[in-house]
Amino acid sequence: MSILAISEWTSFFGRFHPILVHLPIGFLIVVGVFELLKIIGRLTISQETIRVLLFISAISATFACVAGYFLSLEGGYNDEMLEEHKIQGIWLAVFCWVAWLAKNTYLNERIGVNKILYAPALILSLILMMVAGHHGGNLTHGETYLTDNTPQPFRAWLGMPEKTEKESESLTDKPKIQNINEAMVYQDIIRPIFKQKCESCHNANKMKGELRMDEIDLLKKGGKHGAIFEANNVEGSEFIKRILLPESDDDHMPPKGKIQITENELALMKWWIEQGVPFDKKVSQVTVTDAIKPVLASLGVGDSVNTQQTKGVQQDKFVIEEKILSGSTSPINDNILVELKKSGALILPFAQNNNFVEISYINNSKLTDDQITGISKVQDQTLWLRLSDTQITDKGLAEVVKLTNLTRLHLEQTKITDQGLNQLGKLTNLEYLNLIGTKVSDAGIKQLASLKNLKKLYLWKTEVTPKGVEALKKNLPDLKVDLGMTEQQIAEFLKAKPNEVSDDVYKKK
Mean pLDDT computed over 135-144: 68
Q: Are residues 338 and 471 in the same domain?
A: yes
Q: How many Å apart are CA 310 and CA 318, to the nearest integer?
A: 20
Instruction: Based on the fold, state whether residues 183 and 285 are members of the same structural domain.
Output: yes
Q: What is the pLDDT of residue 461?
A: 86
Q: Does the pLDDT at position 507 exceed 90?
A: no
Residues 114 and 221 in one domain: no
Task: Count CB atoms within 10 A of the CB of residue 502.
Answer: 12
Residue 151 placed within a domain? no
Higher pLDDT, 80 or 283: 283
Higher pLDDT, 170 or 245: 245
Position 166 in a domain: no
Task: Give the pLDDT of residue 487.
Answer: 46
* pLDDT band at residue 168 under the 50/70/90 scheme: very low
pLDDT band at 34; cut points 50, 70, 90: very high
**pLDDT tens digits for range 183-230:** 899 999 999 899 888 887 787 767 777 788 888 888 888 888 888 888
Q: What is the pLDDT of residue 496?
A: 53
Per-residue pLDDT band at 80 (split at 50, 70, 90): confident
Distance CA 144, CA 323 (A): 48
Q: What is the separation of C-alpha 290 from the centre of its chain, rounded to a whole number of angstroms?
A: 30
For residue 127, name the pLDDT band (cuts at 50, 70, 90): very high
The answer on pLDDT for 144 being more than 70 is: no
Q: Judge whether 447 lies within some domain.
A: yes
Same domain, 330 and 465: yes
pLDDT (tens digit, 9 = 90+) per residue, 298-332?
A: 786 544 444 334 454 444 557 888 888 888 889 89
- State the pLDDT at residue 160: 64
Residues 6+ apart with CB under 8 A from 286: 185, 275, 276, 278, 311, 312
Same domain assignment for residues 373 and 495: yes
The predicted pLDDT at position 169 comes to 40
Total domains present in the chain: 3
Does residue 499 have a pLDDT over 70? no
CATH number, domain containing residue 453: 3.80.10.10
pLDDT of 460 over the 70 cut: yes
Please report whether residue 465 resides in a domain: yes
Distance CA 190, CA 239 (A): 13
Q: Poorest-confidence range of 157-161, 172-176, 239-243, 334-338? A: 172-176
Q: What is the CA radius of gyration of the chain?
A: 29
Tell me the mean pLDDT in the region 100-116.
Answer: 71
Q: Note down the domain range covering 57.
A: 3-141
Nearest to 377 by CA among 329, 307, 312: 329
* Same structural domain, 61 and 136: yes
Do 84 and 198 share a domain, yes or no? no
Say which range, 167-171, 241-245, 277-281, 350-354, has the weakest mean pLDDT. Answer: 167-171
How many CB atoms neighbour CB 61 within 10 A? 29
Q: Is residue 391 part of a domain?
A: yes
**Which one-letter amino acid corresponds to residue 122?**
L
Q: Which residues pair with 382 in a beta bridge?
A: 357
Q: What percent of the chain has pLDDT over 90?
A: 28
| CA contacts within 13 A on the Cβ side of 152 | 6
Q: Could you tell me the pLDDT band of residue 440, with boundaries at 50, 70 and 90?
A: very high
Cross-strand bridge partners of residue 310: 288
Residue 238, pLDDT score? 87
- DSSP β-bridge partners for residue 346: 360
Dihedrals φ, ψ of 480, to 5°? -100, 120
What pLDDT, in 10s, does the model give residues 363-394? 678 899 999 988 989 989 999 998 988 999 99
Residues 364 and 485 in one domain: yes
C-beta separation of 216 from 194 below 8 A: no
**Average confidence (pLDDT) over 31-35:** 91
In a domain, 382, yes or no: yes
Tell how far CA 272 is from the center of its chain: 20
Residues 231, 211: Cα–Cα separation, whole Å: 18
Mean pLDDT of 37-52: 87
- Residue 359 has φ and ψ, to the nearest 5°, of -105, 125
**Which one has a higher pLDDT value, 338 or 149?**
338
Q: What is the mean pLDDT of residues 28-43?
A: 89
As a whole number, mean pLDDT of residues 347-352 equals 71
Tell me, yes or no, whether 335 lies in a domain.
Answer: yes
Burial class (CB in 10 A: 0-12, 13-18, 19+), 434: buried
Q: What is the pLDDT of residue 348?
A: 76
- Residue 90: is its pLDDT beyond 80? yes
Q: Which residues are registered as beta bridge partners of 349?
A: 357
Tell me which of 289, 311, 333 is where a domain ends. Answer: 311
Residue 226, pLDDT score: 86
Whether residues 125 and 7 share a domain: the answer is yes
Please give the order of strands across the beta sheet that includes 346-349.
346-349, 357-360, 382-386, 408-410, 432-434, 456-458, 480-482
Give residue 416's pLDDT.
94
Q: What CA–CA distance (Å, rounded) separates 379 from 402? A: 6
Query: Is residue 378 one of the residues assigned to a domain?
Result: yes
Of 117, 141, 165, which one is at a domain's C-terminal end?
141
292 and 343 part of one domain: no
Instruction: Give the mean pLDDT of 449-478.
Output: 92
Strand-pairing partners, residue 300, are 177
